[in-house]
Amino acid sequence: MTKDEKIAWRHYSTHYKHEIAFDKKNPRYKLYLQKGWITEDPRILKLLDGGIEDFREKTAVRILKESGSEIVFNYCPKCNKLTRTPIAKQCQHCFHKWHEAEKIEDIWIISFYNNMVKAFTSLFN
Ligand SMILES: [Zn+2]
């Protein structure tokens, strides 16, 4: 996220967690403002004009447009839905796990390779 997007996100999060933060008469309002948890900057607030979903979508589209080739999407091998993180090895949607899949695949590849080596060795001996 850009610096402005981070400020907007923090502003939204603070609002979401502490609705009291938007009561300007509340002493905490000034504190949150001083700490940078909320903002009165109209340029930042404009980012949130369309609501949080709109902000998320616009931010995601911008990130994909600017650095989409650097982003790795990790899909579940069973249901093909997007996992929670790029390195997740279990699916939050269908609960499929593939922690051992790579190990099993590695064992199979090593076993296959060893058998091929044996086969070739026996051909030339
Ligand atoms: Zn799945």
Query: Above 90 in pLDDT, residue 104?
Result: no
How do residues 34-78 score in pLDDT, each as one tens digit? 999 999 999 999 999 999 999 999 998 998 899 888 887 889 999
> Mean pLDDT over all residues of the chain?
84
CA of residue 101 to ligand 1 center, whole Å = 14
Is the pLDDT reported for residue 11 higher than 70? Answer: yes
Task: Report how far ligand 1's centroid is from the alpha carbon of 22 (Å).
Answer: 40
3-state helix, strand, coil in the chain (%, to 5): 60, 5, 35
pLDDT score of 105 more than 60: no
Task: Give the lowest-confidence range in 23-27, 81-85, 112-116.
Answer: 112-116
- State how far the Cα of 60 lies from the Cα of 7, in Å rounded to an integer: 16
Centroid of ligand 1 to alpha carbon of 97 (angstroms): 8
pLDDT at 17 over 90: no
- Cα of 96 vs centre of ligand 1, distance in Å, is 5
pLDDT at 125 over 60: no
Ligand 1 centroid distance, CA of 61 (Å)? 24
Whether residue 111 is predicted with pLDDT greater than 70 in this model: the reply is no
Residue 100 has pLDDT above 90, yes or no: no
Question: How many CA within 13 A on the CB side of residue 27?
Answer: 0
- CA of residue 112 to ligand 1 center, whole Å: 29
Cα 118 to middle of ligand 1, angstroms:
39
Burial of 7 (0-12, 13-18, 19+ CB in 10 A): buried
Quote the ligand 1 centre to 86 CA distance (angstroms). 14
Report the separation in Å between the CA atom of 66 and the middle of ligand 1, taken as the mean of its atom positions: 28
pTM of the model: 0.60
